Amino acid sequence: MNLLSRKINQALMAACVGLTLAAGAALAQAPTPEAPGRPDVKTVGDWTVRCFPIQSPSPCDIFQEQDYQKTGQRVLSISIAYVPSMDKHAIQISVPLDISIQKGVTLQTDAYTSPTLKYRRCDRNGCYIEMAVDNALVEGLAKSGAEGKVNIAADNGKNYTLKFSLKGFSQARDDMVAQARAKAKPVEQQAGAPAPAATP
């Protein structure tokens, strides 16, 4: 990976992680005074378009979560953000623990199969893919049928699929991209940028 690619990847990761942290803070039940306000949220098909009131190169994402019905525990979540200044996407996928870290995951639809996506980290809630992705991945999902699968390998050697819905994906992505373009603060403007003037 050359230096320019590495810098772009680092900036995209910072945007993705920043959005994830903002989402956690904004959706907490008792936000602190420093926490960002609640996001603007819109449901499009089976996806949620979220835009957070933060200064970020990627203030918006589309999000879907699948829970185990008996316990309410999260089984799968997918968040895709867009960084207008780079014309790139960042993705976060959360899956349960006890997976084979080395094998990564693939996204698969009726018309598209992604390259293998590698895990970045795990915590007590699950393991996470957090990375910049080629726009072709998002386009592949947008041009697919109504259902997608996340293919994972467990520690015991068995392969599993976690299903997610693509209903409304294309429209949700288009809406998110339009809002991100309108609300994003490019990376180079964040450092040392003056605070916005207060409005009455």
- The pLDDT assigned to 24 comes to 40
At 196, the pLDDT band (50, 70, 90 cuts) reads: very low
Residue 5 has pLDDT above 80, yes or no: no
Residue 76 CA to residue 177 CA, distance in Å, equals 23
73 found inside a domain: yes
At 10, the pLDDT band (50, 70, 90 cuts) reads: low
- The pLDDT assigned to 139 comes to 97
At 3, the pLDDT band (50, 70, 90 cuts) reads: very low
Give per-residue pLDDT as tens, 41-91: 999 999 999 999 999 999 999 999 999 878 778 999 999 999 999 999 999
Give per-residue pLDDT as tens, 23-35: 443 333 333 444 5
- The pLDDT assigned to 16 comes to 52
Average pLDDT over residues 90-105: 95
Q: Specify the 3-state DSSP secondary structure of 178.
A: helix
Write out the residue range of the structural domain in which residue 84 sits.
Answer: 3-187
Give per-residue pLDDT as tens, 123-180: 999 999 999 999 999 999 999 999 999 999 998 889 999 999 999 999 999 999 999 9
**pTM as predicted:** 0.78
54 found inside a domain: yes
| Token pair recorded at residue 12 | 């995209």
At 21, the pLDDT band (50, 70, 90 cuts) reads: very low
What strands lie across the sheet with 106-108, from one edge to the other?
106-108, 147-153, 159-165
- The pLDDT assigned to 197 comes to 41
Q: How far is CA 13 from CA 81, 89, 158, 173, 176, in A?
A: 11, 10, 30, 19, 18
Residue 18 has pLDDT above 70, yes or no: no
Count of structural domains within the chain:
1
| Token pair recorded at residue 119 | 């895990």
CATH code of the domain in which 176 resides: 2.60.40.1880
- The pLDDT assigned to 188 comes to 54
